[in-house]
């Protein structure tokens, strides 16, 4: 493959995405190395979720190329000529090498947690049920869900559902995990348990691309933070640099809001500390 | 004005024969209609535009023409168009099946489209093909939601079979009008026929209510 470095598990080149008259992505280049954790931030409507959905072709870009671990998933030039020309079976096969976690969990409500996790390995990869069953239980165990394997999504809390969703994606042995605002739909007290599972996953060496507003998580675990603005990458660098010493004016404004919240909270936190003394 | 139900009891044989015919057309046209509805419904959900359009034309055609017109047209006009003979039984069967099939197709399409797009996202992201997604994820959820409207449409279908009497298929209503033609007691006869439909359909309506509740619980 001519594009992408040897160590890159994911390479996007000049991705454009157009919905009717609106150009949502205007030329995104992004390479993610094996084991790297990349956090994507940006305001609403900036195109960050669209970009994530392009990586596994849930959104089909209007042009650009996508290579996952040396395999071309998508390659359409500016004139709309499809140079990859893959069959849908080939796309599904490459797509199954990425795992995705959604804001709204999107668990299958007619199946138990265990069946959710077993579904794709059995249906897509045709692995033996007994083997998948054991592995699915082990992964759910890692997510701290031993007691909930036979429950339906409706019987689980949001945090538990999201951890089942992570387990479901991991059961396919993905090369990259994609997270689309995985904690945004959660009650505040449930955010921690999902972030903890994601931190553990990152430390285990999983390659991750995470769209999130949890800047604390980004500072803690990201190797790189990317700021998307109006369909373009406006900043790309280590978290300390991007989040604590922002240079791009819109990034300053964006990160500033989080600093303001922290500043607002500080006196209350200190005040509370004073009264409890 | 007094009711004299002896005209009914004296002709139970004819009414029973008519009832069996009504039941026969109800069951066969519902089964055929479900097959048609499944095919047309899936066609309407396919990503291929001309097919979607074709399905749409079929559905709107049969949903917007009175069933009586479809029945009469199939029996009297279709043979002329096609240059073949169609028995009244076949004409009635075809008209009723294609009519109810259009309603079933709409129920299927609406049922599938009511499923959260997130379900398609999640199953697609896992690498499932269109067929796998439909079979394993979308249709099992959609069918649960489709049970109450399917039951409702099927109940209407049983009542609609009475239109077959217009092309002299000897169903319950046809036998009724035949009996009244020589007993001159239409009041008793048609009252009895109405009661027969109530006796058969009310339990089915109650059953469909129960299914609806069970479906709501399973959500």
Task: Summarize pLDDT for B28-40 with one digit per residue, the tens.
Answer: 999 999 999 999 9
What is the mean pLDDT of the segment spanning B58-70? 95
Half-sphere exposure (Cβ direction) of A119: Cα atoms closer than 13 Å: 30
Question: What chain A residue is nearest to B129 in terms of C-alpha separation?
Answer: A92
pLDDT of residue A131: 96
The verdict on a CB contact (< 8 Å) between B125 and A89 is no
Taking each continuous run of H as one helix and of E as one strand, the counts in chain B are 11, 0
Q: Is the pLDDT of residue A276 over 50?
A: no
Mean pLDDT is highest, among A42-46, A80-84, A107-111, A212-216, for A107-111
Nearest CB among A92, A108, A110 relative to B127 is that of A92
Place of tokens 């009511």: B114
pLDDT of residue B127: 96
Question: What chain B residue is nearest to A111 in terms of C-alpha separation?
Answer: B137
Q: Is the pLDDT of residue A277 over 80?
A: no
pLDDT of residue B216: 64
Helix (H, G, I), strand (E, B) or coil at A260: helix
Question: What chain B residue is nearest to A173 in terms of C-alpha separation?
Answer: B126
- Of the candidates A213, A219, A137, A211, the residue with the CA atom closest to the CA atom of residue A170: A137
Res. B217 pLDDT band, cuts 50 70 90? low
Q: Is A109 on the interface with B (CB under 8 A)?
A: yes
Helix (H) or strand (E) holding A39: strand A37-41
Q: Is A96 on the interface with B (CB under 8 A)?
A: yes
Half-sphere exposure (Cβ direction) of B34: Cα atoms closer than 13 Å: 12
Tokens of residue A102, six digits: 């959604």
Q: Is B130 on the interface with A (CB under 8 A)?
A: yes
Res. A273 pLDDT band, cuts 50 70 90? low
Half-sphere exposure (Cβ direction) of A172: Cα atoms closer than 13 Å: 31
What is the mean pLDDT of the segment spanning B125-145? 93
What angle do helix axes B49-63 and B88-113 make, rounded to 10 degrees? 120
Q: How far apart are CA B148 and CA B167, in angstroms?
A: 31
Nearest CB among B116, B125, B129 relative to A56 is that of B125
Q: How far apart are CA B162 and CA B143, in angstroms?
A: 29
Residue A40, φ and ψ in degrees, nearest 5 = -105, 125
Instruction: Identify whether the C-beta of residue A164 lies closer than 8 Å to the C-beta of residue A113.
Output: yes
CB-based burial of residue A225 (10 Å sphere; 0-12 exposed, 13-18 middle, 19+ buried)? buried
The verdict on a CB contact (< 8 Å) between B127 and A119 is no
Tokens of residue A50, six digits: 């669209």
Q: Is the pLDDT of residue A263 over 70?
A: yes
Q: Is A126 on the interface with B (CB under 8 A)?
A: no
All residues of chain A having their beta carbon less than 8 Å from the beta carbon of residue B122 are 100, 102, 106-108, 165, 168
Tokens of residue B119, six digits: 């379900």
Q: For chain B, how long is the longest CA-to-CA vector?
A: 73
Tokens of residue B124, six digits: 């697609």
Instruction: Identify whether the C-beta of residue A162 lies closer than 8 Å to the C-beta of residue A194.
Output: yes
Q: How far from B190 is each of A7, A179, B185, CA to CA, in Å? A: 83, 66, 9
- β-strands A176-180, A98-101: how paired? parallel
Q: Mind telling me how many Å the CA of B127 is from chain A's nearest CA? A: 4
Q: Mind telling me how many Å the CA of B102 is from chain A's nearest CA? A: 28
């Amino acid at each position: 493959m001519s594009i992408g470095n040897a160590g890159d598990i994911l390479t996007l080149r000049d991705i454009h995405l157009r919905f009717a008259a609106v150009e949502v992505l205007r030329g995104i280049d992004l390479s993610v190395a094996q084991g790297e954790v990349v956090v994507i931030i940006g305001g609403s409507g900036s195109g960050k979720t669209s970009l994530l959905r392009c990586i596994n072709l849930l959104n089909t870009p209007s042009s650009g190329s996508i290579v996952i671990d040396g395999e071309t998933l998508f390659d359409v030039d500016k004139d709309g000529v499809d140079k990859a020309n893959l069959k849908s079976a080939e796309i599904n096969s490459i797509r199954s090498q990425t795992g995705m976690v959604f804001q709204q969990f999107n668990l299958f409500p007619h199946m138990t947690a265990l069946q959710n996790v077993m579904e794709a390995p059995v249906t897509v990869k045709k692995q033996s049920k007994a083997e998948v069953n054991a592995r699915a239980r082990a992964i759910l165990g890692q997510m701290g869900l031993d007691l909930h394997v036979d429950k339906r999504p409706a019987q689980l809390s949001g945090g538990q559902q999201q951890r089942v969703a992570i387990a479901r994606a991991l059961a396919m042995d993905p090369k990259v995990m994609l997270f689309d605002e995985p904690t945004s739909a959660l009650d505040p007290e449930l955010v921690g348990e999902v972030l903890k599972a994601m931190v553990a996953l990152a430390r285990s060496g999983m390659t991750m691309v995470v769209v999130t507003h949890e800047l604390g998580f980004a500072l803690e675990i990201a190797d790189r933070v990317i700021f998307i603005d109006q369909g373009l990458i406006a900043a790309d660098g280590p978290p300390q640099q991007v989040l604590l010493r922002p240079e791009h004016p819109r990034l300053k404004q964006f990160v500033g809001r989080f600093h303001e919240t922290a500043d607002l909270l500080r006196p209350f936190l200190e005040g509370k500390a004073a009264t409890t003394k | 004005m007094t009711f004299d139900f002896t005209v009914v009891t004296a002709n139970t044989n004819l009414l029973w024969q008519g009832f069996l015919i009504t039941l026969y057309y109800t069951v066969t046209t519902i089964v055929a209609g479900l097959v048609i509805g499944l095919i047309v419904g899936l066609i309407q959900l396919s990503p291929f535009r001309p097919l979607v359009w074709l399905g749409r034309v079929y559905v709107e055609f049969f949903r917007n023409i009175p069933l009586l017109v479809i029945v009469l047209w199939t029996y009297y006009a279709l043979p002329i168009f096609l240059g073949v003979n169609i028995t009244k039984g076949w004409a009635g069967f075809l008209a009723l099946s294609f009519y109810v099939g259009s309603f079933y197709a709409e129920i299927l399409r609406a049922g599938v489209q009511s499923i959260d797009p997130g379900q398609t996202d999640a199953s697609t992201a896992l690498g499932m093909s269109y067929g796998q997604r439909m079979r394993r994820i979308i249709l099992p959820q959609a069918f649960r939601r489709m049970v109450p409207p399917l039951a409702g449409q099927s109940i209407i279908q049983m009542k609609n079979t009475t239109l077959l009497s217009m092309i002299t298929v000897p169903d319950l209503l046809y036998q009724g009008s035949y009996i009244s033609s020589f007993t001159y007691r239409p009041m008793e006869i048609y009252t009895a026929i109405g009661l027969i439909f109530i006796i058969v359909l009310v339990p089915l309506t109650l059953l469909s209510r129960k299914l609806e509740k069970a479906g709501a619980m399973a959500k």
